[in-house]
Amino acid sequence: MKKSRSVASPATHGGEDELSAKMQIRKDAESDLWNMAGSKFFRRDELKYYCFGLRLGLANIFRNGFRLGPKKTLGKILQPINSYTRFPEYHFCAYNVEQYQKSFVPARRLRVLDVGSPKCFGLYLAYHYDVEIHLTDIYPPSVEEAEVLWRAVKSRARGKALFSVVDVRDPKYSQGEFDVVYSMSVIEHVEGETGDSDGIREMLRVLRPGGLLLVTVPIGQRYMEQDLIGVQGAARNTGDRNRYFFQRIYTPLTVEERIISAAPNAKLRKAVTVWRKMNIISKFYHRLGTDLRALLGGFNPVLSAAVNDSQEGILATPGDYGELHSGRGMYGGLMRGGGKEC
């Protein structure tokens, strides 16, 4: 609890000052109790990431108006974090970057490479930490959108953000160029028979010895390569009814075969498996359409706290998913953090 402060004042105002001091003590106590309750319920700092996303959305509309288009502009406010499933990933990656930065004391900024992850998270890092972060994506509109959002907040940011279109299978970066490389729910989307493995190898190549590698992927009880109708490259709407490769859902065995084996000189530091509790809340949420879920985006922090659960290790999670990706599909997520051996 916060300590009260003694207040020196003339005797004629002693009663008012004493009452004011008591009110401040009560206010501080109530604030502390609220923070304690919040930290117990929002165990993954959901409100912190949600509030930044909301700030980013509001700053964008004041700075850029509707440059991104009405739907996207309002979406950045109504659903600043696009899914309740993102919060464990945000928390895992942010915590590990923060801990790594504390042990990193050169006379230069930490250099970070984001490989196609949700751009809100990368902008969060650049805003709050003294880092140089390279935000990349294979899809040009995603990069352009992130640049627009960054201009709305960069004057108050602690770090620096750079933007480029990059294919993780062939990044145009030098060997050992970055101190931290992270990829949040991206590797599973890389096309090609060995696209995910090739991507991991390249991420490790551009990471300096002793650097930090963070990767998150979906995981379930059976390996699946899902398609999506009318969406190519996991991002571009084609307007047709053709099926395009969307993502892989891994198992502990295929994680070993396709990801861990592709990074033999990376030492695993931590692995955490997240799954969604199959309760009435999650079942109801997954029956809602995409537009309705977007309108209810303000509830995502609460949904995350109520539905997400986790355990250390690489585990097969319960779920319900098929060959075609659906917003109603449910599966878990694996979050891995490792260091490149010297």
Q: Mean pLDDT for the chain?
A: 86
Q: Are 140 and 160 in contact (CB under 8 A)?
A: no
Q: What is the pLDDT of residue 39?
A: 62
CA gap 168, 166 in Å, rounded: 6
Q: What is the pLDDT of residue 3?
A: 38
Q: What is the pLDDT of residue 342?
A: 67
Q: Which of 27, 58, 108, 79 is nearest to 300 (CA)?
A: 79
Please calculate the CA angle 322-196-199 and round it to the nearest 5 degrees.
Answer: 155
Q: What is the pLDDT of residue 16?
A: 42
CA gap 138, 326 in Å, rounded: 23
Q: What is the pLDDT of residue 59?
A: 97
| Range in 6-15, 189-198, 238-247, 314-323 with the lowest mean pLDDT | 6-15
Q: What is the mean pLDDT of residues 152-157?
A: 96
Q: What is the pLDDT of residue 140?
A: 95
Q: What is the pLDDT of residue 278?
A: 73
3-state DSSP assignment of residue 286:
coil
Please list, in sequence order, all residues whose beta carbon lies within 8 angstroms of the beta carbon of residue 101, skipping any fewer than 6 positions away.
110, 129, 131
Q: What is the pLDDT of residue 13?
A: 40
Taken as a whole, the chain contains a residue count of 342
Amino acid, res. 4: S
Using the structure block, give the residue that is written with the tokens 């300590």: 3
| Residue with more model confidence, 294 or 197 | 197
User: Does residue 8 surpass a pLDDT of 70?
Assistant: no
Homologous superfamily in CATH for domain 42-340: Vaccinia Virus protein VP39 (3.40.50.150)
Backbone angles phi, psi at 41, to 5 degrees: -85, -50
What confidence category does residue 288 fall into, taking pLDDT thresholds of 50, 70 and 90? confident
DSSP 342: -
What tens digit of pLDDT does each residue of 193-212 get? 999 999 999 999 999 999 99
Q: Are 215 and 117 in contact (CB under 8 A)?
A: no
Q: Distance of CA 93 to CAs 96, 117, 130, 180, Å?
A: 5, 11, 16, 10
Q: Delimit the domains of the chain by residue range.
A: 42-340
The pTM for the full model equals: 0.85
Highest mean pLDDT of the ranges 83-92, 257-266, 267-276, 325-334: 83-92
What are 244's two structure tokens? 């395009």
What are 275's two structure tokens? 């799954």
Q: Where are the alpha helices (DSSP H) in 103-194?
A: 119-128, 140-153
Q: What is the mean pLDDT of residues 267-290?
A: 82
Query: Would you put residue 309 in left (φ > 0), alpha (ψ -120 to 50) or beta?
Result: beta
